[in-house]
Structure 1
Amino acid sequence: MKIKKIPLRMCTGCMEMKPKKELIRVVKSPENEVSVDLTGKKSGRGAYVCRDAQCFEKAFKTKRLSRNLETSISEEIYNRLREEIQNE
């Protein structure tokens, strides 16, 4: 049998390559709306964050998410991510 390749993505907090399913995706749609994509299937430009509070705080402080998505991210999105990470 053929071994299935696991897609890897880079976390914007720790800058490590991790399996896509372990990360939370933040997506900017073609209409420039930013949202949290838990399914990982929404269309648009995506940025990924680990499900780790320290990693998220690092990405938040350095504003890497907004830089990767090339747009400003509202406080509401950051709060939603924080809530999602704490629920893990």
Structure 2
Amino acid sequence: MNKVRKVPLRKCVGCQEMKPKRELVRVVHTPEGEVRVDPTGKQNGRGAYLCPQPSCLQTAQKRRSLERMLKTSIPDQVYQALAEKMREVAGGA
């Protein structure tokens, strides 16, 4: 009899849906103070998860939920860089 592995679930801060961790993009606030996309999901720092869709990033930006989860303020240019990185990560997956 094979063991059934438990699939870790995370909540998207944009649409508030629970999804498997592998389907989401992790955004991390590093101890150095940077906010960036974590394609491996293993970087040190406080993380938040988003669906790889621009609409979820826009919703998170509008509601400031990403800032609340990461406990830091995020400038607009970082949101633009996150949108580009998320497109790269989503396209490469």
1:49 to partner: Cα distance: 0.7
TM-score, scaled relative to structure 1:
0.88
Q: How much is the aligned-residue C-alpha RMSD, in angstroms?
A: 1.5
Query: Whole-Å Cα distance in 1 between the matches of residues 85 and 23 of structure 2?
Result: 13
Instruction: Check conservation: 1:13, 1:50, Cα contact below 8 A.
Output: yes
Instruction: Check conservation: 1:9, 1:19, Cα contact below 8 A.
Output: yes
TM-score, scaled relative to structure 2:
0.84
Which residue number in structure 1 is paired with residue 75 of structure 2?
A: 74
Query: Whole-Å Cα distance in 1 between the matches of residues 7 and 81 of structure 2?
Result: 27
Question: Tell me, which stretches of 5 or more residues in structure 2 are unaligned?
Answer: none
1:50 to partner: Cα distance: 0.3
Query: Whole-Å Cα distance in 2 between the matches of residues 8 and 45 of structure 1?
Result: 17
Query: Whole-Å Cα distance in 1 between the matches of residues 81 and 50 of structure 2?
Result: 13
- Count matched residues: 88
